[in-house]
Amino acid sequence: MDRLLRSPLDQAIQRARDRLLSLQHEQGYWVFELEADCTIPAEYILMMHFMDEIDAGLQAKIAAYLRAHQQDDGSYPLFTAGPGDLSCTVKVYYALKLAGDDIDAPHMKRAREWILSHGGAARSNVFTRILLAMFEQVPWRAVPFIPVEIMLLPRWFPFHLDKVSYWSRTVMVPLFILCSHRAKARNPRRIGIRELFVVAPEREKNYFSHVRTPLGKAVLALERLGRRLEPLIPKAVRQKATEKARDWFVERLNGVDGLGGIFPAMVNAYEALDLLGYPPHHEYRRLAREAIDRLLVVKDDYAYCQPCVSPIWDTGLSTLALQEANRYDRDPRTEAALAASLRWLASKQLTDHPGDWRVRRPKVEGGGWAFQFNNTYYPDVDDSAVVAHALAQANNPEFDQALRRAGNWIAGMISKNGGWGAFDADNTYHYLNHIPFADHGALLDPPTVDVSGRCLMFLAKMTERRAEFQPVIDAAIAYLRREQEPDGSWFGRWGTNYIYGTWSVLIGFELAGVPKDDPAIRRAVAWLKGIQRDDGSWGEDNFTYHDPRREGRGRFHTGMAFHTSLALLALMAAGEAHSPEVAAGVDYLLRTQQPDGFWNDPYFNAPGFPKVFYLKYHGYDKFFPLWALARYRNEQRA
């Protein structure tokens, strides 16, 4: 034991653990920054000018952040060192121009030339063109026809709110109001961006050139007909639909945590409240703005806006890492921190709260957790599985009732194919991704491998006391087997990418008792070993979402502590703790640990929506390496 206590491994674990403990909040939770691409901070500046609520000092700091993230070719990517994205670059250019940047400044000229060389602002995505329409930069015919009367459609209709994902609902409902009533940005300085169009916006005829499928073209034809008939809609019908939309999103405003807990929905709600005549001092307006401003990260010389916050996710994963570190080496400080985090998590369980998930599962009792501090209408299946697993590992009768509810809710949220979506069951109306509005391809929340792997992880642990979960577990295993890629990997929907998906499944298989010599596990192990870098690390590029060819999967030009940790955890779950590949990966983490106890991955590590929106979880290079090193130490002692 004395030799182990003096080992580099033990010292690395202690440094990482101590640093993580130092960041725990008094209430028991952890929350790390959640950074997106430059679209979100650009939209914050655009919101200030839309509302004529300009904070010059804050605007200057956000502009500094935006300038610092421009690529050499003038574009702005969706993830670090990725290809330039037209819509993101258009929004950043507009935001910087609003902030006072001269269009002849070198960085503005480079951005403009890049935009024009890629077809101009008319080729930007639907959400960008809606914003430009509200700023009177493109005509309303440049955007899909999304009348607020959609709120009055019956549930059997091909398009209904209940048939799209939670994030789509919360973004779209206030947007229906803004679009139907032709909202106009105040834009006090009357700044426009006509210089970003190859053809004058009013003469452009190809705003929907991206619509190519027969179904998409049919819907587009119906939209154009609907726009022509819009003047015939009775005022009373429009008023009724507007009130229903308002009541829907006001009911879900979610206090200072904001509509849906996500920035785009919050901004749309804030602007819709203004359009509907709510004064700045009204409680709804005040809470909506406070929710938005709570997403700001303000430093000495720059600032940016987060898309949302992730305290329950960060706390659940930090707790799992610390539980692993404390398994054999009981530390009073760690035990106190775990007690505080587990009680905080238990207090956040959503039980009898209203929720949109109940439309599909009306007879299932509540028992999940959200992703944010509060988001009562939208518990997250993924967070719930992680939190419930941490509570179960505590073996504390205090959490028995919470675990009973969590097990019932997660088991009840399984979809027909044996997998789980993030927020809804059977949200699989894939034809909706062909409508012109859905050019982002992120309208739905179908079952995914990574969420399903973690649900399997928790429910398998619970079968010791809840044998009735076995049919659900069997269905989940069958689903995951069907979803395995020919090369042995699994796709990662909520984390980058195949390494994340493979880790998610293998930890589920381990808890479910799938034999280590199972062919699916052996194929996954061979794939993980085959993509290990020469320095012992693993890494993966977000570009695998854009180009999923096998030779790019699980590969990157550099190692990352995050991916190395996931690969190590996956291999150890598959019985490879004593393999040379695991030893080399551990050695990489030991070599790259910083003096402060953490690691530093400069690259984005998750998609919000593949191909559209990416994230950097600032906690991933902190708690995942601790978890991997602690499990390795425990495996060596077992």
**Residue partners of 122: CB distance under 8 A and separation at least 6:** 129, 138, 142, 197, 198, 199, 201, 204, 206, 207
Tokens representing residue 433 in the block:
């991704």
| Cβ-contact 163, 432 below 8 angstroms | yes
The helix/strand/coil state of 326 is coil
What's the N-to-C CA distance of the chain in angstroms? Answer: 13
Question: Is 382 labeled as catalytic in the residue annotation?
Answer: yes
Contact 286, 273 (CB under 8 A): no
Instruction: Select from 474, 570, 575, 476 the least CA-distant residue to 517.
Output: 575
Q: Provide the b/e sequence for 137-149 (b: ≥16 CB within 10 Å).
A: bbeebbbbbbbbb
Q: Which residues on neighbouring strands pair with residue 614, listed in sequence order?
A: 607
What is the SS3 assignment for 362-422?
A: CCCCCCEECCCCCCCCCCEHHHHHHHHHHHHHCCCHHHHHHHHHHHHHHHHCCCCCCCECC
Of 382, 383, 439, 541, which one is the catalytic site residue? Answer: 382
Per DSSP, the three-state class of 561 is helix
Give 524's contacts (C-beta < 8 A, 6+ positions apart): 484, 488, 489, 490, 502, 505, 506, 570, 574
d(CA 442, CA 83): 20
Structure tokens at 42: 């650009």
Instruction: Say which amino acid occupies 217.
Output: K
- DSSP letter assigned to residue 435: S
Q: Running DSSP on this structure, what letter comes out for residue 619?
A: T
Residue 158 tokens, joined: 């091909």
Cα separation, 459 vs 315, whole angstroms: 20
* Alpha helix (H) residue ranges in 23-105: 39-51, 56-68, 86-98
Return the sign of the alpha-carbon dihedral for residues 180, 185, 186, 191. Answer: negative
Contact at 8 Å (CB) between 528 and 567?
Answer: yes
CA atoms of 4 and 11, how far apart (whole Å): 9
Query: Strand pairing partners for 297?
Result: 304
Tokens representing 84 are 């330039």
Strands 613-617, 34-36: pairing is: antiparallel
CA-CA distance, 439 to 436, in Å (whole number)? 6
Distance separating alpha carbons of residues 95 and 254, to the nearest angstrom: 28
What letter would DSSP give residue 122?
Answer: G
Give the separation between CA 134 and CA 185, rounded to whole angstroms: 6
CA–CA separation, 267 vs 15, rounded Å?
A: 41
Bridge partners of residue 35, in order along the sequence: 616
Q: Which residues are catalytic?
A: 382
